[in-house]
Amino acid sequence: MSRMKKAVVVLGTFAVALLMHRLLSFAPLYRELHRALPFYVAESMKNVLEVGVCVVALLLLGERRIAGALALDRGALRGLAFGLACTAPMLIGFALTRRSDVRDPLAVAYLAFFAPFIEETVSRGFAFRTLRRLGWPMWTAAAACALLTGVAHIEKGQTAMSILGLFVVTGVVGLMFCWLADRWQSLGFPLALHALMNFWWEVFNVAPTALGGWLAFALQIASILLAVAVTLYFRRGQNRAGAARMARDRDADAEGNLLPRHHLAVGYLMGRL
């Protein structure tokens, strides 16, 4: 399969994952779960399917190390420390201006940790990193992923301005998370930043969407700028190392080092038994 066809598979799979809610809304069971149970029950089922289609796509593309391909196999503890340090402006700012109001701990856990894990795995781990391995420039791959992610979030807006605001905010944040994943060569860093930003947002009950007023916006920007500054300081020169690693992955693919798809599927299933 040519790189162009592989890119089409990646972007098509990514679009299916982003549209999973709309697709599942045709299923009576999914609608009933949303009606009868807390929202995070049906949403968790949707999230598992989102990751599932991405894993299937990676297997079809000849990937053998799923965790490595998604960059989930390294940098977890360092990423957590990074996230705690960089989201300090949000914690301090909200603690000084708001009261904590957690009414449903499971909802907070879902919105702050499980949902960001799924989004980072699908958007940055699968779509962005796979496009990078296919030879796409960093900002081109990031822009493609951020554009689709921004479009997927605008349905939460109620007015034209809120829709535009959500598109811009989620798109810009998506670009930055892609850059972080590329610089650190680990999903742990954007994931921790994303999760902890969501966590402080939910703990202090800021707003139902990513738009929460000028103060909340300023605190979000402060956390993101701090993350950029920390990354530039600690990862000076690492963009070349990351590019070299991506080049080695492309060379290995071009030389046919990956198993044929039917061999891969058999090997994967045997390894799970």
Among the listed residues 197, 30, 193, 226, the one whose alpha carbon sits nearest the alpha carbon of residue 111: 197
- Could you tell me the two tokens for 239? 């963009």
Give the amino acid at 151: V
Structure confidence by residue, pLDDT tens digits, 54-97: 999 999 999 999 999 999 999 999 999 999 999 999 999 999 99
Burial level of 178, CB count in 10 A (0-12/13-18/19+)?
buried
pTM (two decimals) = 0.83
> Cβ distance 199 to 108 under 8 Å?
yes
| Mean pLDDT of each 10-residue bin along the chain, 273 residues long | 93 94 94 95 96 97 95 95 98 94 93 96 97 96 89 63 72 91 96 96 82 84 95 80 55 46 35 37
Predicted confidence at residue 270, as pLDDT, reads: 31
Q: Hey, how many other C-beta atoms are within 10 angstroms of the C-beta on 241?
A: 12
d(CA 34, CA 29): 9
Structure confidence by residue, pLDDT tens digits, 3-30: 999 999 999 999 999 999 999 999 999 9
